Structure 1
Amino acid sequence: MAGLDDNGPRSKGPEADPQGDPFLRTRFAVPTRPATFLRRNRLVRHLDQALRTPLTMVNGAAGAGKTLLVADWAARREPVAWLTTDAGIQGPGMFWAYLLQALRVSGLPLSEGVGSPAEAGRVDRTLLTRLATDLSTRDRPVIVVLDEFDRVTDPEIAEQLEFVLHHTGRGMRLILVTRTEPLLPLHRYRAVGDMTEIRDAELAFTPEEAAALMERHGLHLPVPAARTLVERTRGWAAGLRLCALAAQESPDPATYLKEFEADRTTVADFLLAEVLKRQTPETQDLLLRVSVLERFSPELANALTERADAEPILAGLHRENAFVEHLGHGWYRLHPLFREILQAHLRVRSPGLEPELHRRAAAWLRRSGSLAETLGHGAAAGDWEFTAAALVDDLAIGQLFTGLRSDDLAELFSRMGPEATSPATDLVRAARELSRSDLDRGLTHLQHAKQSLAGEERAAGDTPGLAAARLSCALLEALAARLAGSPEQAERAAAEAERLREKVPAHLLDKHPELTALLLVHLGSARLWAGRFDDARTALTAVADCSGGASTALPREDSLGRLALIDYLNGWLDRAERKARAAIAETERFGLSQPSGSGVGRLVLAAVAVDRNELDQAQALLDVAADDPAMRDPVTEAGRAIATARLLLARGDTRAALQAVEPDLGADVVSPWAQGHTALVASAAHLAEGRPETAVELLDAVSEGQVACAVEAARARLAAGRPAEAIDLLDRVHPDGRSGPAVTVRAALVRAQAADRAGDAVTSRRLVAQALHEARRERLRRPFVEAGPWIRPFLGMAPLRGLAAGWLTPGPPSHGAAPRPADQPPPVVEELSERERDVLQRLAQMMSTEEIAADLYVSVNTVKTHLKSVYRKLAVNRRNDAVRRARELRLL
């Protein structure tokens, strides 16, 4: 098949699936047809209709001949992207990663902008949109075959597949090979004739076809006799093939076929009697034992049988079409139906053997380096000490946090009972509890692990295995310090980790870059909580700049979000916004639509939106952040409280703001910036309620060393009628180069108001102009809204009117529009979000709500929500008025 051969076309793409394992190329291979395969032209002609309909479904029972029919058809049409969706492809992220890779290896290159999912359990909708857009531009439709689609039971995957199929238009022909009705809106495709169906009844062999199949096996069967056989087997392809194989072994094949009674026995009895029991005892034993495996090599089969004869046996079974399929590269698998029957028979014949077989498989796979399969078989064996040790020894404990395998690993180890006791099991328990931000339970398990490891070290010395476990301990201690808000503990853990890195095999550190990235994020976060911004930036920047691809995407998102928070706290809105958006883009690039990282980036964007007076946008971001399964550390919770409280203040709800800004964080040390911003919100609430002296007292307690608090304290003194003290305080703090416009603009406005009260209009105008210059770059509106009535006359003066026009106040009216009355102060305009501007632009093009929704790939209800927000911000009630108003404001 194109893309699988070394000489065939090949496009660049990810080298590993979202779990970090190499893609199994056999999943992309069009199955080969056996020499006895019978091409049935009536089905081929029907299947040709797949080239004219977006969706084709070949639906039949196991063994109905679905896969071979489509494989034979696809082999004569290139390129075809083939994907066998077996049980190893679990979760939306894994499914789409394999489907994208199937397109690439089939010789259908995708644009680099499509990207690939990084997390097995989820995929971002924007990735699906990019894929649909890419496929919709093709000159001819792309043929995609999904074999064994009945194994895809996740409704989310079906919904995503329908989304891509719908928005690809005529750019894709999707063929589903399945045993069951897929979870797609098939009625819609049937209603408009956009679906080709081949179902079980049509797949059934006719008497003529059955006779021809027998001829392929060297058996002559007249059509009347074949008709009887078809009636008894109901035309089931596998049943007919089984009959042919068994008849070949009979001394009287014709009599055997005539006397075969399908209703006399079950398929299981037939398979056991005519396939399994005809094999030698050694072959039967091998088949029963490998039935516990999804796939197996001769070496792995030997490990289960404790013999050395698997290779010739498996080759012979495959050659004889005895339900053993060759996957290529020395790997095999059993026919799924045959495997199920063998598993059931194994439990009857050898009760209690199955766990031992899983244990042997796990041990062999661990030696071969296949961690994911090792963990699966170790868990199936119930050997949790072995399974946890495999994870820890591989230095893979960070995967419980990075999102790549976190859900799968959490589900796997959730079955681990309390009877499993070892340092590794305690480390896994500690990691699971800390990943849920349960600090007390996590520390209890972590302490048990440390005590056990200390005992092992005294007994055996410092081995590489112990070093890996102790390095995992250091990672968890750093995380615990982050959750506890304990910078000293984090520094000790980081120092211990640096010492242990020299004792761990270098190839393990290279294999798991997420461990170092996580350590630095935890350290940086603890330093950030302590207000050590420069030290925090050093650790966080190292993570933000690191490589590692998908494995470090979430730590990079986490670090960028916290770097954005530092910029925001220093008053640099644009810098903060850029880093926060980069944080979100970092995870979206790998399809992580719901990252399990910190979510600080969205909180920073919400806080920035409040300072820009984009209150609806801020609320939307906070709503998303509230649903984020984030790690609840003090930095995140303080950021959430501050952003929420500032939004409530902006909306005039001072009581709710005061309640929101005082969360019980339970941190080991007090964070100066969290304390300072809590005082800022509380003082602003008291100022709004006419209690300036209370605001002064609050801020004087925390203003030392915090320029933003000192500036707000000066504003409170001015409100209290003490302008001289206000100016003196500003002169003493003198905002340095680290303080951005969010601080310096407020300081300039306090001075301007003091000058205005003193009757110095020239100085006041100059200071307002200075504030407007600085604020315009950052679109910083809240300081002007909070300034009060005194500033409005200044905003109507020339040249200040020009500095404010378009971003803070409306621009000049369009030609012919009535001028604004001189006594009417210019309103402050709340800026439209990027998505609202998209909707407005299409509104100006006279597009309907439905057309806008289709063009933007969103729902009609989402468009209606954006329209309501646009109308409110522009103070209009109708579409035409919104467009006219937007043009007046030069928004179009």
Structure 2
Amino acid sequence: MISVAARDDSARGPAVGYADPLGEPFLRTRFAVPARPATFVRRPRLTAHLDQALDTPLTMVNGAAGAGKTLLVADWAARLGQPVAWLTNEAGDQDPGKFWAYALHALHTAGTPLSAGVGGSPGDLRMVDHRLLARLADELNGRDRPAILVLDEFDRLAAPETAEQLEFVLHHAGQGLRLVLVTRTEPLLPLHRYRAAAAMTEIRNHELAFTPEEAADLLARHGLRLPAEAARALVERTGGWAAGLRLSALAAQQSTDPETYLKEFEAGHSTIADFLLAEVVGRQPPETQDLLLRVSVLDRFGPELAEALTGRPDAGPLLAGLCRQNAFVEDLGHSWYRLRPLFGEILRVHLRARDPGLEPELHRRAAWWLRAHGAVPEALAHGAAAADWECTAGALVDDLAIGRLLTGLRADDLTELFSGMGPEAGGPAVDLVRAARELSEHDLDHGLAHLGRAEQSLATGAAAAAGRLSCVLLESLAARLTGCPDRAERAMADAAPLRREVPAHLLAKHPELTALLLSHLGSARVWAGHFDAARAALTEVADLPGGALTELPREDCLGHLALIDYFDGWLDLAERRALAATDATRHCGGRPFPGAGLGQLVLAAVAVDRDELCRARSLLDEAAESGPGPGVPDPVTEACRALVTGRLHRALGDARTAANAADPAVRAEVTSPWARADAALAVAAVLLADGRPGPAAEVLAGIGRPGGPVCAADVAWAQLAAGRREEAVGAADRLCTETEGRTGPGVTVRATLVRARAAAEAGDTDTARKLLARALLEARRDRLRRPFLDAGPGIRRLLDTPPLHGLAAGWLHGDGPGADAPPLLVEELSGREREVLARLAQMMSTQEIAADLYVSVNTVKTHLKSVYRKLGVGRRGDAVRRARERGLL
């Protein structure tokens, strides 16, 4: 029999044992409520939740090692104001007899009276008398005030019999017992019953995590007062794990720069690593430790992926067990898991130390498994980490994602991912990736070489359609960059059957592919001067719904459509489209596109036509800053830059500089008719300035098809200046009749001015005045000033005569040389528009203006658009500046 020390019968009950069933003394520390350190942070949100334990029979505080479970419950128990029986369990308590001996002694120590039949220790370690449990439950059920029993480290009790006996007592004790379990794992109790009956209080791992505010309090208690952002970053890295925060704070105390230390410390070589390796990894059997180390290279994993890395068929049960144990393995749902970030970081360091060559192999296995199961982004990351470029490039090409290297928010990430690919890597997919990278950087020679090798490898019918369609996409880009419209047309024709071979879900997943094909085709058509066909392709992309993957092609197409509008003489429409393109540039981010800056160039061209030369120069500078960088330039963009620069210098009176600037330095297989025409016009302007009309006429005669109505009108004007009146008037007449309704003031005004000057030179002043009146009325709407300023002294003299002077008054001035007044309004501002403008000058936001004027925000926006249009600007700051110039403010 076990020795029992007798005591006098009293209100506390009869004799109680002071030794366990083995005859060893009870360890008092196991019954003591743990003391809280000076740095302990009381968290009211958790203690308030824990107060519910007084109303439910069962409470479970379930969290990972070091989550702060014990200190939370200890603080709650110490402040409760009534006795709490506390028992810290140990691994040696597996036998029910020993557990109950300690549990009964804990109740006795807390002052819970027990009768003689209950108060002694069980006499047999292997079994507990059912009558003892029944008497215990009965006595607890008869209490006026429930006993509170806290079982700390309950996860150390693995015996199912103990859990069954505890459930029996809890169930039959009724309102006489409040059981609080502090554990790392789910106890073997019928928790579902208690949950269904609302008879259970739960605090789980996610709730135990420190908030940034609580972390800042903890750091302050360690003498570390850091910015809120630093505390937030530390919580993000540690997942709010209490032990991690405390250990980090202790280590940071030793640093001369605590904030930097907490941001950059190496978790794998810290006291945090020692804690986790001992408390979490060290408690696991060898096969589970190996599993944890191998899956540490993954951001997320399921049983099958874990099996691919470990070769173990039982990875699924092991992962589920680790999740139940709160072993820093989180359940993501649908049988997918992940390691807590800090834990994964530490395991990877441990993996490299234990088996240095294993990590690349694990990444390689993960890459091939993920590629086979369609998880492309993850396959790319692991393939690159393993330096398995065949797998990595193949995954990108098979997914039809080659266009992601050219556009979208991930373009820079993908470029960086493939930056480690050395020359030793080979294969058609690798060549395609290299070609895409080099063509996107406008490295034509290397890009075309790699593209040629890839096309040769994929020429057989057995090659996957995704690979061949990727070749076609890069062919279209190459066609654009080399100024070869026929090549672009062939690429588009080749794409049609391949798109039918590719799975529909891949095409739906990659809208950028179609957008890029059409964008490059449209640009090549613009280069060739095939504006109607170009408009059809470009409009299809411009009308696509917004999205990160198609935003850059949409911006590119809007810029090209704006250029076509300009060539057709529609300045207002060109401006609106160009502004939309530049607005898209500001919002989409991502890498520069071949046509980057084209929107600003069209705006600059419009500004030159309006004689807003300072604005034009500023826009040219903006376009240069937003361009795609070094390399072979995009033909359309570079030719447009040359056109605008040349026109700006001609407007400034520097014909020679204009001629030097007007010849675009592009590498093109086909000459663009509009680029050729503009360069010829610049040369003719120099010859005319030198008084050599004959050679100028010869240059103009060699232009052939001028490539757009605006260019045709400019050629007609130059022919008139060179003395070829008949040809000039004939060309102007054709522009006015054949393109009627299809061209805007940028064309019709120029053509009308040719006819007016020809009439004036022929002595038909009445006809000249009528034509000038028509031109002034048409030009006024778009503020088209430059053609009148370039029309020569004869036309200017006519403009100074009534009634033409009245038609020109108030708007036909600019900021170019010789202007004697600042640009005037096209229309007067309304009273409300002046009120909006005044508040704009006070730096008020749109919302503030709306509130001040008692109107809606949309109404203010409408007024602002009208103010911008009337002042000839596109920005708030420019509107205020222009208004001050005109004395409106």
Identify the TM-score tier after normalising by the shorter chain.
0.5 to 0.7
Matched, 1:787 2:791: yes
How far apart, CA to CA, are the structure 1 residues paired with 2:389 and 2:448?
A: 20
Matched, 1:748 2:713: no
Q: Is the alpha carbon distance of 1:523 and 1:718 closer, same or farther for their aligned partners in structure 2, counting shifts above 3 Å?
A: closer
Q: Is the alpha carbon distance of 1:554 and 1:825 closer, same or farther for their aligned partners in structure 2, counting shifts above 3 Å?
A: closer
Partner of 1:621: 619
Q: Residue type matched to 1:278 in 2?
A: R
The equivalent position to 2:571 in structure 1, one of 557, 570, 573, is 573
**Contact in 2 for aligned 1:485/1:669 (Cα 8 Å):** yes
Partner of 1:503: 501
Partner of 2:385: 380
Q: Is the alpha carbon distance of 1:491 and 1:240 closer, same or farther for their aligned partners in structure 2, counting shifts above 3 Å?
A: closer
**Contact in 2 for aligned 1:795/1:804 (Cα 8 Å):** yes
Q: Spell out the pairing of 1:441-840 with structure 2 (5 A cutoff).
A: 441-454=446-459, 457=460, 461-462=461-462, 466-547=464-545, 549-586=547-584, 590=588, 597-630=595-628, 632-688=633-689, 690-704=691-705, 708=710, 711-720=713-722, 723=725, 726-727=728-729, 730-731=732-733, 736-737=738-739, 738-809=742-813, 827=821, 829=823
Q: TM-score normalised to the size of structure 1?
A: 0.63
Larger deviation, residues 711-720 vs 775-784? 711-720
Q: Is the alpha carbon distance of 1:624 and 1:330 closer, same or farther for their aligned partners in structure 2, counting shifts above 3 Å?
A: farther
The equivalent position to 1:201 in structure 2, one of 188, 212, 219, is 219
Q: Is the alpha carbon distance of 1:540 and 1:63 closer, same or farther for their aligned partners in structure 2, counting shifts above 3 Å?
A: farther
Q: Residue type matched to 2:823 in 1?
A: V
Q: Residue type matched to 2:597 in 1?
A: G
Per-residue CA deviations over 1:277-303 (Å, capped at 9, x if unaligned) read 221111101111111122333333233
Per-residue CA deviations over 1:447-485 (Å, capped at 9, x if unaligned) read 11122223xx3xxx535xx21111111111111111111
Partner of 2:123: none
How far apart, CA to CA, are the structure 1 residues paired with 2:564 and 2:841?
A: 42
Larger deviation, residues 780-789 vs 729-738? 729-738
The equivalent position to 1:434 in structure 2, one of 435, 439, 442, is 439
Q: Report the number of matched residues.
A: 629
Per the TM alignment, residue 241 of structure 1 is displaced from its structure 2 partner at its CA by 9.2
Aligned residues: CA RMSD:
4.5
The equivalent position to 1:394 in structure 2, one of 383, 394, 399, is 399
Q: Is the alpha carbon distance of 1:322 and 1:394 closer, same or farther for their aligned partners in structure 2, counting shifts above 3 Å?
A: same
Partner of 1:171: none
Q: Residue type matched to 2:531 in 1?
A: F
Per the TM alignment, residue 321 of structure 1 is displaced from its structure 2 partner at its CA by 3.0
Q: Residue type matched to 1:336 in 2?
A: P
Q: TM-score normalised to the size of structure 2?
A: 0.63
Q: Residue type matched to 1:543 in 2?
A: V
**Contact in 2 for aligned 1:648/1:656 (Cα 8 Å):** yes
Partner of 2:283: 278
Q: Is the alpha carbon distance of 1:518 and 1:304 closer, same or farther for their aligned partners in structure 2, counting shifts above 3 Å?
A: same
Per the TM alignment, residue 611 of structure 1 is displaced from its structure 2 partner at its CA by 0.9
Larger deviation, residues 724-733 vs 268-277? 724-733
Q: Residue type matched to 2:677 in 1?
A: G
Per the TM alignment, residue 40 of structure 1 is displaced from its structure 2 partner at its CA by 7.3
**Contact in 1 for aligned 2:552/2:588 (Cα 8 Å):** no
**Contact in 2 for aligned 1:398/1:515 (Cα 8 Å):** yes
Per the TM alignment, residue 825 of structure 1 is displaced from its structure 2 partner at its CA by 10
Q: What is the SS of the residue equivalent to 1:402?
A: coil
Per the TM alignment, residue 392 of structure 1 is displaced from its structure 2 partner at its CA by 0.3
**Contact in 1 for aligned 2:476/2:520 (Cα 8 Å):** yes
Q: Residue type matched to 1:299 in 2?
A: E
Q: Is the alpha carbon distance of 1:265 and 1:554 closer, same or farther for their aligned partners in structure 2, counting shifts above 3 Å?
A: closer
Question: Percent of pairs identical after alignment?
Answer: 59
How far apart, CA to CA, are the structure 2 residues paired with 1:478 and 1:768?
A: 46
Q: What is the SS of the residue equivalent to 1:414?
A: helix
Partner of 2:311: 306
The equivalent position to 1:411 in structure 2, one of 383, 399, 416, is 416
Q: Residue type matched to 1:636 in 2?
A: T
**Contact in 1 for aligned 2:408/2:548 (Cα 8 Å):** no
Partner of 1:135: none
How far apart, CA to CA, are the structure 2 residues paired with 1:732 and 1:627?
A: 40
Per the TM alignment, residue 782 of structure 1 is displaced from its structure 2 partner at its CA by 0.6
**Contact in 2 for aligned 1:779/1:807 (Cα 8 Å):** yes
How far apart, CA to CA, are the structure 2 residues paired with 1:779 and 1:599?
A: 24
Q: Is the alpha carbon distance of 1:736 and 1:684 closer, same or farther for their aligned partners in structure 2, counting shifts above 3 Å?
A: farther
Q: Spell out the pairing of 1:194-233 with structure 2 (5 A cutoff).
A: 198=216, 201-202=219-220
Q: What is the SS of the residue equivalent to 2:549?
A: helix
Matched, 1:289 2:294: yes
Per the TM alignment, residue 201 of structure 1 is displaced from its structure 2 partner at its CA by 3.2
Q: What is the SS of the residue equivalent to 2:658?
A: helix
Runs of 5+ in structure 1 lacking a partner?
1-36, 46-61, 70-175, 180-194, 207-234, 244-263, 811-823, 857-869, 874-878
Partner of 1:252: none
Q: Is the alpha carbon distance of 1:281 and 1:840 closer, same or farther for their aligned partners in structure 2, counting shifts above 3 Å?
A: farther
Per-residue CA deviations over 1:713-760 (Å, capped at 9, x if unaligned) read 443454456656644554566552144322221222222223333443
Q: Residue type matched to 2:582 in 1?
A: I
Q: Residue type matched to 2:639 in 1?
A: A
Partner of 2:855: none
Per the TM alignment, residue 373 of structure 1 is displaced from its structure 2 partner at its CA by 1.1
Per the TM alignment, residue 665 of structure 1 is displaced from its structure 2 partner at its CA by 1.2
Q: Residue type matched to 1:414 in 2?
A: S
**Contact in 2 for aligned 1:614/1:832 (Cα 8 Å):** no
Q: Is the alpha carbon distance of 1:654 and 1:178 closer, same or farther for their aligned partners in structure 2, counting shifts above 3 Å?
A: farther
Partner of 1:364: 369
Q: Is the alpha carbon distance of 1:845 and 1:670 closer, same or farther for their aligned partners in structure 2, counting shifts above 3 Å?
A: closer
Q: Is the alpha carbon distance of 1:199 and 1:832 closer, same or farther for their aligned partners in structure 2, counting shifts above 3 Å?
A: farther
How far apart, CA to CA, are the structure 2 residues paired with 1:297 and 1:435?
A: 37
Q: What is the SS of the residue equivalent to 1:325?
A: strand
Q: Is the alpha carbon distance of 1:668 and 1:714 closer, same or farther for their aligned partners in structure 2, counting shifts above 3 Å?
A: closer
Q: What is the SS of the residue equivalent to 1:333?
A: strand
How far apart, CA to CA, are the structure 2 residues paired with 1:825 and 1:659?
A: 26
Q: Residue type matched to 2:542 in 1?
A: A
How far apart, CA to CA, are the structure 2 residues paired with 1:844 and 1:754?
A: 47
Q: Is the alpha carbon distance of 1:478 and 1:723 closer, same or farther for their aligned partners in structure 2, counting shifts above 3 Å?
A: closer
Per the TM alignment, residue 400 of structure 1 is displaced from its structure 2 partner at its CA by 0.9
Q: Is the alpha carbon distance of 1:695 and 1:742 closer, same or farther for their aligned partners in structure 2, counting shifts above 3 Å?
A: farther
Q: What is the SS of the residue equivalent to 2:400?
A: coil
Partner of 2:262: none
**Contact in 2 for aligned 1:699/1:712 (Cα 8 Å):** no
**Contact in 1 for aligned 2:595/2:637 (Cα 8 Å):** no
How far apart, CA to CA, are the structure 2 residues paired with 1:442 and 1:528?
A: 23
Q: What is the SS of the residue equivalent to 2:805?
A: helix
Q: What is the SS of the residue equivalent to 1:420?
A: coil
Per the TM alignment, residue 352 of structure 1 is displaced from its structure 2 partner at its CA by 1.0
**Contact in 1 for aligned 2:411/2:590 (Cα 8 Å):** no
Runs of 5+ in structure 2 lacking a partner?
1-35, 46-64, 73-208, 225-239, 249-268, 850-869, 874-878
Larger deviation, residues 442-451 vs 365-374? 365-374
How far apart, CA to CA, are the structure 2 residues paired with 1:846 and 1:597?
A: 33
How far apart, CA to CA, are the structure 2 residues paired with 1:598 and 1:581?
A: 13
**Contact in 1 for aligned 2:706/2:715 (Cα 8 Å):** no
Q: What is the SS of the residue equivalent to 2:301?
A: coil
Q: Spell out the pairing of 1:342-361 with structure 2 (5 A cutoff).
A: 342-361=347-366
Q: Is the alpha carbon distance of 1:549 and 1:452 closer, same or farther for their aligned partners in structure 2, counting shifts above 3 Å?
A: same
Q: What is the SS of the residue equivalent to 2:330?
A: strand
The equivalent position to 2:426 in structure 1, one of 421, 424, 434, is 421
Q: Is the alpha carbon distance of 1:547 and 1:352 closer, same or farther for their aligned partners in structure 2, counting shifts above 3 Å?
A: same
**Contact in 2 for aligned 1:613/1:781 (Cα 8 Å):** yes
Partner of 2:164: none
Partner of 1:261: none
**Contact in 1 for aligned 2:750/2:787 (Cα 8 Å):** yes
